[in-house]
Amino acid sequence: MSKIVVANCFQETNSFHPNSTTYEHFNVHFGQDLFEANRQDISGALNVFSRQTNIELVPAYGAGMGAGGTITQACFDQIAEECLEAIEKHSTNAEALYFSMHGAMAAEEEKDPEGYLLEETRKILGPNVPIVISLDMHGTVTRRMLQNINGAAILHTYPHIDWYQLGKRAASMLLRILEGVKPIIASVYTPTMVRGDELKTATGVHGTLIRHCEHLEERNDVLAAGIMLGHPPTDVPEQGSRIVIVTDDNRELAEQEALKLGTDFWALRARMQCVLYRVEDAIKIAKKSDGPVIFSDAADATSSGAPGTSNAILKGLLQSDYAGRVLFPIRDEPAVEKAMEAGIGRTITVPLGGTKDPRFIPLEVEVTVEMLSTGKYFSQGNGMGNAGPLAILRTNNITIVVSTQPSVLCDYSMYLGLGQDPKKFDIIIVKLPHTPHHLYDAWAVRNMTIDVPGAASPNIKTLGHKIVPRPIYPLDEDMSFIPSVEVFS
Ligand SMILES: [Zn+2]
């Protein structure tokens, strides 16, 4: 029997979020609980491992959440201690370790949490036990991470739909390493921060690079090929993008393909920036459109770690003479409380926005309370959703869905559950950079990313980086750079 230890540490840090992430924000799982947590990447890995008869799987530890602010050092210290203790406890006779990670964690002091965990895990397991990791594509792979692993699988799709396959790829690679293949990792770093529509796998230029990776992965001597895009809202010293190619003992191929992809990636850097519209211009375009228009507020996307309390687009709409029907979501706990106190049908004046983000000054808006809800709704595919106490407020042509849970701001099912079919509006504000095609883009006539402030602004130069390496594109637009390959084996 081969004993394989499984661990997980997963969070996407947004360094520009005004609040910190603490231990209470994480879902922590010890032992068997990790396998009960229904993580898709781990489920995919379990699918592969379970087909082997000679494997003993040992779930050690998991600490995961979505996106949030910088992790307090105390929180990371606690998670690291618990995680490493659990790995150590199960390390006797362990033959391999699968570590499910995100890649965009950053703590107050430790700016490379994944690198720290992998370095310490390597010390526990020794040099001969293979470690394979799986990663979201929105993160930083550091040299310290690459020095302490034997293989990495990276998500191939954005919007992300291959979590399960990601786990399967990682597990398959780990099994091949156990069978005796000799992994060689070649990696090319580019000093780039990228955003925008060209990163969508199905339609953007990034997809053409991914299809090359997938083609490579069909070869028997290629264990994995992937691209870490970097994550601009995480302000860390090794910020940038990285090609990661893992071959079976074929150094030349690994180097050649990593360099080719890295060179192509660098050449495409300007295209992989977001096309942005000023809110006034977007409203003008919406007026002339003959169908529903999406305003993407990527800057306040809770999925990218922003608080979801931006009122910038609402302000633009209120200051305009736009008369079409508008659906605007926001997170604002005090406004929901006020609406609850007033009751359905009452007209009140509430400050809206900025509650968790001092970038935004609350807007005093006169609204009618149209609906109050516990926020429980049936979410397609995910069972019951919970938006927390919620209010639907109306000011003239604008329907404002005020929630208290940040994560659900853009759940399409929540709108349907509340009787607010997005298709019945003329402008729909979506607090996400991109959504699966069928939700909005399939029926909207336009989708514009609005240039407004926010912790996750795709206008990268406005974020206020202090730690990223310089020069880096697009902060230093005229920089020159020649990609080169690094090998880890
Ligand atoms: Zn991602």
Digit-coded pLDDT (tens) for 388-426? 899 999 999 999 999 998 766 667 888 888 889 999 999
User: What's the CA-to-centroid distance between 343 and ligand 1, angstroms?
Assistant: 39
Q: How far is the CA of 324 from the centre of ligand 1 (A)?
A: 33
For residues 292-297, average pLDDT: 97
Give the span between the Cα atoms of 257 and 249, in whole angstroms. Answer: 14
pLDDT score of 409: 64
pLDDT over 90 (residue 241): yes
Give the mean model confidence (pLDDT) for residues 447-471.
Answer: 97
> How do residues 336-379 score in pLDDT, each as one tens digit?
999 999 999 999 999 999 998 999 999 999 999 999 999 888 76
Mean pLDDT calculated for residue range 155-180: 97
Interval between CA 310 and ligand 1 midpoint (Å): 21
CA 361 to ligand 1 center in whole angstroms: 29
Q: Which two tokens stand for residue 346?
A: 């009452």
Per-residue pLDDT band for 385 (boundaries 50, 70, 90) equals confident
The three-state DSSP-derived secondary structure of 209-229 is HHHHHHHHHCCCCEEEEEEEC
347 CA → ligand 1 middle, Å: 41
Cα-to-centroid distance, 103 and ligand 1 (Å)? 9
pLDDT of residue 412: 84
Ordered by start, the domain boundaries in the chain are 2-272, 276-458
Q: If you measure from the C-alpha of residue 332 to the centroid of ligand 1, how many angstroms do you get, rounded to a whole number?
A: 25
pLDDT of the residue at 413? 84
pLDDT in tens, 54-102: 999 999 999 999 999 999 999 999 999 999 999 999 999 999 999 999 9
Residues whose beta carbons lie less than 5 angstroms from ion ligand 1: 136, 138
Distance 205 CA to ligand 1 centre (A): 17
CA contacts within 13 A on the Cβ side of 183: 31
